[in-house]
Amino acid sequence: MAKVEGFKATGWYIYLIRFENNALYCGITTDVNRRFEQHKSGRGSKLLRGRSNLYLVWSERVGNSRSAASKAELAVKKLPKTKKEALVNGSLKLSNIIG
C-alpha cells in the first residue's frame, strides 16, 4: 500500500499486517501510514516487536468513532484466516462482515 504524501486522513481505519510466518495482525488507527511505521520501528504492538519483513496488506476506513473501529476489529479478529485472506485479496468486503 503506497504512502500518500500531503494527505490528512480523517476517521478510523482497520488494517492487516502480514509478518514473517505469513500470519496476519489486525489493528485500528486514525493514521495507517504512521501506525505501520511504528510497527516497523518496534514502537507498535508487542506482538510485532522485533519482527522483520512486515507488510501492510490491507486497510479500510471504518467510520468516525473509535467504538465503530473497535467493533470492526473484533469482528475481523474472530474471522478464520481464510476470510482474512479474502479481505486482503478483495474477494470479501468488510461491509459483508460488519453490516
59-86 confidence digits (pLDDT tens):
999 999 999 999 999 999 999 999 999 9
Q: What is the 3-state secondary structure (H, E, C) of 29-55?
A: ECCHHHHHHHHHHCCCCHHHCCCCCCE
Give Cα separations from 51 to 31, 45, 58, 70, 76 (angstroms).
Answer: 21, 11, 19, 24, 22
pLDDT recorded at residue 4: 52
Q: Phi-psi bin for 4: left (phi > 0), alpha (psi -120 to 50), beta?
A: beta
Quick check: 94 pLDDT over 70? yes
Can you give the pTM of this predicted structure? 0.86
Give me 78's grid cell: 474472530
How many angstroms separate the CA atoms of 27 and 20, rounded? Answer: 17
Q: In the chain, what are the domains?
A: 12-98 (3.40.1440)
Quick check: 37 pLDDT over 80? yes
Give Cα separations from 2 to 15, 36, 87 (angstroms).
Answer: 14, 12, 18
